Amino acid sequence: MHGIILPVFGLPVHTAIMIYIIIGLAIFAAIAGKRFTLVPGKMQSLLELVASGFLNMVDENMGHKGRKYFPFILTLAVFIFISNALGLVPGLLPPTANLNCTLGLALVVFFMTHIIGVKEHGLKYFKHFVGPVWWLAPLMIPIEIIGHLARPLSLSLRLFGNMMGHEQIVMVLLILMPIAYPLLAVSTALGILVIFIQAFIFALLSMLYLGGALEEAH
């Protein structure tokens, strides 16, 4: 497992790295925003391609109302992607390989889901917990509550498990070097794939949860 090569100022390692990521993203956004032009360069074209791709996903999974939450989804996806990618840097442990980080992200999505539901539908939002008919309420309410509580658990454990698993594999292969060099190369290639997939899955599931809250309560 990697150790951090940056000062942590007495903070937990994953917290310090998250702060570095947030500061880095803020600086990048400030600089990139000032350099946007009508005729985009290569970097601007890439950023616009990524943004338009996520915007299309938001439209498909959340509907037109979901566009107001597009910045949240995109920021979440970019943060997770960069956090995952740091696992490829020697000396850095990705924050997403820490359950505190992934659970925190999942809880943000969890609370956002219900805040949006109440904001859009008022107290009628909670009608879907009761079920289609009132006499099913004693059965449906516990099922719905368990289902909603399972969402942050599954989101956090999926991301944490995949990233920590990759880190553990890399650590074992490094111990076996140079014999395991070919396997380390394969593991790194698969790790790059996991970085993209896990950020995409987390963002997609977040869209589905938020999109469900935007739908009219039945």
Write out pLDDT tens, residues 17-58.
Answer: 888 889 988 998 888 777 777 777 777 788 888 889 889 999
For residue 11, the surrounding DSSP H or E stretch is: none
**Region 83-110: what's the mean pLDDT?**
89
Say which range, 14-18, 112-116, 181-185, has the weakest mean pLDDT: 181-185
Collapsing DSSP to helix, strand or coil, 118 comes out as helix
For residue 75, what are the CA distances in angstroms to 105, 122, 206?
A: 12, 27, 12
Say if residues 76 and 105 touch (Cβ distance below 8 Å): yes
Residue 1's pLDDT band, with cuts at 50, 70 and 90, is: very low
Say if residues 84 and 194 touch (Cβ distance below 8 Å): yes
Residue 93's pLDDT band, with cuts at 50, 70 and 90, is: confident
Q: Please determine, for residue 7, whether its predicted confidence score (pLDDT) is greater than 70.
A: no
User: Burial letters for 73-98: b for 16+ Cβ neighbours within 10 Å, e otherwise?
Assistant: bbebbbbbbbbbbbbeeeebbbbbbb
Q: Please determine, for residue 2, whether its predicted confidence score (pLDDT) is greater than 50.
A: no
**Region 126-155: what's the mean pLDDT?**
85
Mean pLDDT (the chain) is: 84
pLDDT in the model for residue 115: 93
Of the ranges 40-54, 74-88, 132-146, 163-177, the best mean pLDDT one: 74-88
For the chain, give the percent of residues with pLDDT over 70.
Answer: 90
For the chain, give the percent of residues with pLDDT over 90.
Answer: 34
More confident residue, 138 or 76: 76
Residue 5's pLDDT band, with cuts at 50, 70 and 90, is: low
Taking Cα atoms as reference points, which of 79, 99, 114 lies closest to residue 214?
114
Q: Please determine, for residue 152, whether its predicted confidence score (pLDDT) is greater than 70.
A: yes
